[in-house]
Amino acid sequence: MKVAIIGSGYVGLVAGTCFAELGHQVVCVDNDERKVTALKGGAIPIYEPGLEDLVKSNVAAGRLDFTEDLGLALEGTDAAFIAVGTPPRVTDGHADMKYVYAVAHAIAEKASGDLVVVDKSTVPVGTGDEVERILRTTGGNFRFSVVSNPEFLREGVAIDDFLKPDRIVIGSEDDWAKAVISRVYGVDGFKGVPVLQTSRRSAELLKYASNAFLAMKITFINEVADLCEAVGGDIRDVANGIGLDSRIGRKFLNAGPGYGGSCFPKDTLAISKTARDYRVQLRTVEAVIQVNENRKRAMALRVLDACNGVVRGKTIAILGLAFKADTDDMRDSPAIPLVQALQDFGAHIRAYDPQAMTNAGKILTDVEFCKDAYDAATGADAVVTVTEWTEFKEMNLPRLRQVMRSPLLIDFRNLYSVDDVKNDGFEYWSIGRRTETEPTLSQSLAAE
């Protein structure tokens, strides 16, 4: 089949490349001439493990191409996937739909035959209705149908998520459209994968609800981690015990500095705003949003506490800037408010991230970016691990201690064993595990 992907950002590029890998003829459309030229040459604008090689191999095989010409991309196309951004509006947090609707208008003007238009972008409930209206009132004398086909890609493992999905959701009331999209996904690589055929509005809501629930799991375990610190528990044991319950599962139960990235922050805001528009209040989601924002800001206070209340004039090494490992995505990263708050407190910041320093440099100022973790830690009064990169987990801790001014390690990802770190001579602070300077609840009660 011939498939067009409109938008060559994170979702569009992964989807288009994977559809090509599965044997379809794919053309990705983007209005950025430099990006299109780079992609034709096999260079990609984002870091996603395995994606660059997959792009190059499918371009070489002639299954994947890139263009600025939407009309050309739509010639003979069976399905056109809209995969442009839906960032939150500054005014109210609602998803900004101007890019999606602009693409809908362009498809209506450029399409030359029957076409299934697929919303791959994460969009509020009712978006498909508006896209259909645009196509119907602007388009030519041929058949259109609009399908919601949400993506469930995790940055860092997006290729596996696409090629080995938990489920495929096809939201449409049109038998012809459902048949076309079923054919797109009906290749050998997707046999055995559950396919949920549902209404378009249900599919639109399903994506937001999924992300809101996962954000809630993260926020819940972060609050339980705080309780563990207060009573002398270990959040790793608590999370493992919770995760062994088959009704819950272990994923998204790793305590840390709060969630960030391209999906959870904007999607929780968007579903909350949608609910209010329909006179429904999602109190749990609203609480998740507020608790997560408060947590990210509070991380700097933890560093301040570990430094005896003073960081002015001190050098703090930040290891990890991306919101998670295996990506260069800085969107809503917990590292941003952490670095900015520490700078407000008077600290000098040295930082290192394996992939995200270029993007971080567009956001953070007066930060000394370093060549590796040991370089960042050289002369530091404290090292703070913010992102769970494997290379940080595998650091030589005695070497790290040797280059630091003071052996203070603040671990926001629980990368290390408490005993191992202390045996290497560090003062160690982590998440959801009591430090030796903090009394347990039982000790406090005994003292009373």
d(CA 356, CA 44): 15
- H or E element in which residue 19 lies: helix 10-21
Paired tokens of 40: 């034709």
Task: Mark whether 18 is an active-site residue.
Answer: no
Q: If 0-12 CB within 10 Å is exposed, 13-18 middle and 19+ buried, where does residue 290 land?
A: exposed
d(CA 113, CA 232): 66
Q: Is 404:379 a contact under the CB 8 Å cutoff? A: yes
Please report, for residues 24, 60, 75, 272, 376, the alpha-carbon distance to residue 21 in angstroms, rounded to integers and kept in the order given. Answer: 7, 12, 21, 37, 40
d(CA 128, CA 443): 58
> Amino acid identity, residue 412?
F
d(CA 393, CA 367): 23
Q: Which residue, 398, 404, 441, is CA-closest to 422?
A: 398
Kindly name the residue from 228, 263, 307, 370 that is annotated as catalytic: 263
**Across 174-240, where does the E strand assignment appear?**
195-198
Please report, for residues 36, 279, 327, 332, 338, the alpha-carbon distance to residue 119 in angstroms, rounded to integers and kept in the order given. Answer: 22, 25, 24, 24, 36
Q: What is the DSSP string of 286-347?
A: HHHHHHHHHHHHHHHHHHHHHTTT--TT-EEEEE--SSSTT----TT-THHHHHHHHHHTT-
How does DSSP classify residue 87? P
d(CA 286, CA 272): 7
Sign of CA dihedral 252, 254, 260, 266: positive
Q: Which positions are catalytic?
A: 263
